[in-house]
Structure 1
Amino acid sequence: MLAAVSAESLDPVEVTAAVEGPEHGAVVVFTGVVRDHDQGRAVSALEYSAHPEAEHFLSRCCRQMSAESGLPVAAVHRVGYLTIGDLALVAAVAAPHRAEAFAVCAELVERIKHDVPIWKRQRFDDGLSEWVGSSGCS
């Protein structure tokens, strides 16, 4: 199982390879991409900061999802300074059929956002910034 927090650019191919196999007819990959706006404001960049044990929380989240679903899951979350178009999160799930892979991947992303202590600071074009969507430890 691949579950990592990285300051390096993310590679969806690496995350996909961690879950695919001949028994699976579907691999769903989610890529969270830094966009240029949020709630009507122009965004210039994001900064992600992580708790020192964030990778432990991410691993636990992936293990739990895999145990509950019986499917292979993988996720890598980026930290540091990201610009528009950079990947912030790549998550993947493989399953025999697409419906299950989509559902489990969606739940995995929600759990990561909720359970993994990684915090996002949005930088706006007007020079202001704000912390948003902070995850919590559970």
Structure 2
Amino acid sequence: MARTTYDHPGEQSAPDPIRLLAIRDTPLSLDEVFRAVGDDAAGGTALFVGTVRNHDSGADVDALGYSCHPTAEAEMRRVAEKVVAQFPVRALAAVHRVGDLAVGDLAVVVAVSCPHRGEAFEACRKLIDDLKHEVPIWKHQKFSDGTEEWVGAC
């Protein structure tokens, strides 16, 4: 018979689930983010990796640079706290790169672990979507035809 109540402490949010938040000008590590969200009570861990692609809106991208507002890390924390308030997060991590990046480089890595896989998927999606829309990080794309474009919050 399947359980229908979740009264075990492991089914709830951890007391301090935000384990890693950073904006860095150095290469990002999947292993670091994955290790940060390890939790014995988590039955599901979802990880999202954003990479620099070689095209955007029909144009070839050669490279790009990310820059951020001085409040970006504080805004990242606010977004993370919102996710923690909405889902039973056991552990959460998010790192974003700034500076010049090449095609294929990791731009952002986020991960969330929760008691169950569905919650982990939903929380991870909410985290990356809100991070892209609410954290003041901007992308400067350089196209193969010599044109450039600034893109709003990423």
- TM-score bracket, normalised by the shorter chain, equals over 0.9
Match of 1:81 among 77, 91, 100: 100
1:90 Cα offset (Å)? 0.2
Give the structure 1 partner of residue 72 of structure 2.
54
- After TM superposition, the score normalised by the length of structure 1 is 0.93
Of 35, 40, 51, which aligns to 1:17?
35
SS of residue matched to 1:44:
strand
- Identity of counterpart residues, as a percentage? 47
Gap regions ≥5 residues in structure 1: none
CA distance in 1: counterparts of 2:150 and 2:85, whole angstroms: 33
How many residue pairs get aligned? The number is 135
* Alpha-carbon distance in 1 for matches of 2:104, 2:153: 22
Preserved CA contact (<8 Å) 1:65 1:73:
no
Residue type of the alignment partner of 2:111: A
- Which residues of structure 2 form unaligned runs of 5+? 1-18
Q: Deviations over 1:43-79 (max 9, x none)?
A: 0111101001211111121122112213021100100
Larger radius of gyration: 2
Residue equivalent to 2:111: 92
Displacement of 1:98 in angstroms is 1.4
For 1:1-138, list aligned pairs within 5 A. Answer: 1-71=19-89, 72-132=91-151, 134-135=152-153
CA distance in 2 between partners of 1:113 and 1:99 (Å) = 21
Contact conserved, 1:4 with 1:59, CA < 8 A, in 2?
no
In 2, the alpha carbon distance for the partners of 1:83 and 1:39 equals: 18
Give how far 1:82 is off.
Answer: 0.5
Structure 2 contact 88–119 (Cα < 8 Å) conserved: no
SS in 2 for 1:2: strand
> In structure 1, what is the equivalent of residue 9 of structure 2?
none
TM-score (norm 2): 0.84
